[in-house]
């Protein structure tokens, strides 16, 4: 790595850390430093919270995430296949220091449901609207690790809604053929319904 690229990476980290703290993400506790693998993921906890349990409405919870799914997303971010100027430098860092160890660390953590509250009426509407989603994500939104389909239960509603919009606009992983069916389904759903779906899946136990 050149001196210029190192400075650029440091600047990107600093900016992203500032954004995460502004959004209310909690820094890691001192005790976390003793956990196996934490040295590979300490930058992640600035935004995703201690152990990957984000308390923010905007940041996904990655505690308990399937290791293979985590590794795929990190690789996509690092290569620019999943577009995010905020995540790309972090993903490159994780790839460089050891993505397998980072994936194993988060997979070991116990997932906690988001503290963000959702409207009960929206949850009811979202449950009805979720019928087409059950085919892949299952009746309780727990996904399918064998097909790298993530669990949606307990995730922050704003994050879920944003991902649905990105799928609909083909702005998430635009070249991934495995997501073609998902994007086709999202194109049939109104933006307003995404809010209800997000509320429903956020209300479920992880």
pLDDT tens profile 171-197: 999 999 999 999 999 999 999 999 999
Say whether both 128 and 98 belong to one domain.
no
Please say which residue of 83, 108, 133 terminates a domain: 108
Provide the domain limits for residue 97: 3-108
What is the Cα–Cα distance from 93 to 142, expressed in whole angstroms? Answer: 29
Question: How many domains are contained in the chain?
Answer: 2
113 located within any domain: no
Residues 99 and 137 in one domain: no
pLDDT at residue number 37: 75
Q: What is the pLDDT of residue 42?
A: 86
pTM: predicted TM-score of the whole model, two decimal places? 0.84
């Amino acid at each position: 790595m050149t001196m210029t690229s190192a400075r650029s990476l440091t600047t990107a980290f600093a900016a992203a850390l500032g954004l995460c703290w502004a959004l209310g993400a909690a820094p890691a506790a001192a005790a976390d430093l003793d956990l196996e693998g934490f040295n590979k993921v300490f930058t992640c906890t600035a935004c995703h919270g201690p152990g990957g349990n984000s308390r923010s409405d905007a940041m996904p919870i990655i505690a308990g995430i399937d290791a293979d799914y985590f590794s795929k997303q990190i690789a996509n971010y690092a290569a620019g296949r999943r577009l995010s100027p905020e995540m790309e430098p972090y993903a490159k860092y994780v790839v460089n220091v050891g993505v397998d160890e980072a994936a194993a660390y988060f997979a070991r953590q116990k997932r906690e449901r988001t503290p963000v509250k959702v409207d009960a009426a929206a949850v009811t509407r979202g449950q009805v609207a979720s019928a087409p989603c059950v085919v892949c994500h299952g009746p309780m939104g727990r996904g399918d690790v064998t097909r790298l389909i993530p669990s949606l239960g307990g995730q922050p509603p704003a994050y879920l809604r944003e991902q649905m919009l990105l799928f609909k606009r083909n702005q998430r992983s635009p070249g991934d053929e495995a997501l073609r069916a998902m994007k086709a389904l999202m194109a049939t759903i109104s933006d307003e319904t995404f809010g209800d779906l997000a509320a429903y899946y956020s209300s479920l136990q992880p």
